Amino acid sequence: MRAQYKTRTIRLVGQQQKDVALAAIENAPIDPDKPLEVVIREEKKTRRPDQNEAMWAGPLRDIAEQAWVEGRLFTAPVWHEHFKEKYLPEDDDEELPILAKDGYHKWDYTPSGRRVLIGSTTQLTVKGFARYMHMLEADGAGMGVVFHTPPVRQVA
């Protein structure tokens, strides 16, 4: 029985990367009981840094400053965790292939069996992040938040 094969992603941007990909295939183990899979597709565009900056400087800041829940305000990092639990795509979301990178999982379990959030907005695609932002903006608006910066609207 062979050891688990480490996933490799090779971006084909030039001949050198193509040669590396061909060498990886040539040297890959052949195992009929646990075969490897080769997938060639267009690169998934992941969330951009400007989207992340816009989230923290815009809607999350406004929500943290204006959204009162049971007589108190919460910090932007607390709201971020709240929204991740509520709005990151679930592992069985039928649109997951266009919303998140390969290997994305929202939840995992500790050795004691407690479910923990492991999903991150860094794992979202441009489209996935735009959907996430739309949901947290709608939630904020529902709490009466007046946004100081225009909500981020990304076309995926």
pTM for this entry: 0.68
Per residue in 83-139, pLDDT tens? 999 999 999 999 999 999 888 999 999 999 999 999 999 999 989 999 999 999 999
**Measured CA distances, 89 to 42, 67, 138 (Å):** 22, 24, 16
| Ramachandran assignment for 103, one of left (phi > 0), alpha (psi -120 to 50 degrees), beta (any other) | left
31 and 62 both lie in a single domain: no
Judge if 30 and 95 occupy the same domain. no
Question: Do residues 128 and 84 share a domain?
Answer: yes
For 7, the domain range is 1-43
Q: What pLDDT is attached to residue 11?
A: 79
Q: What is the pLDDT of residue 10?
A: 79
Query: Is 80 exceeded by the pLDDT of residue 155?
Result: no
Is 147 within a domain? no
| pLDDT tens, position by position, 52-79 | 888 888 899 999 999 999 999 999 999 9
Domain count, the chain: 2
Asked whether residue 60 is domain-assigned, the answer is yes
**How far, CA to CA in Å, does 6 sit from each of 9, 10, 36, 155?**
10, 13, 10, 34
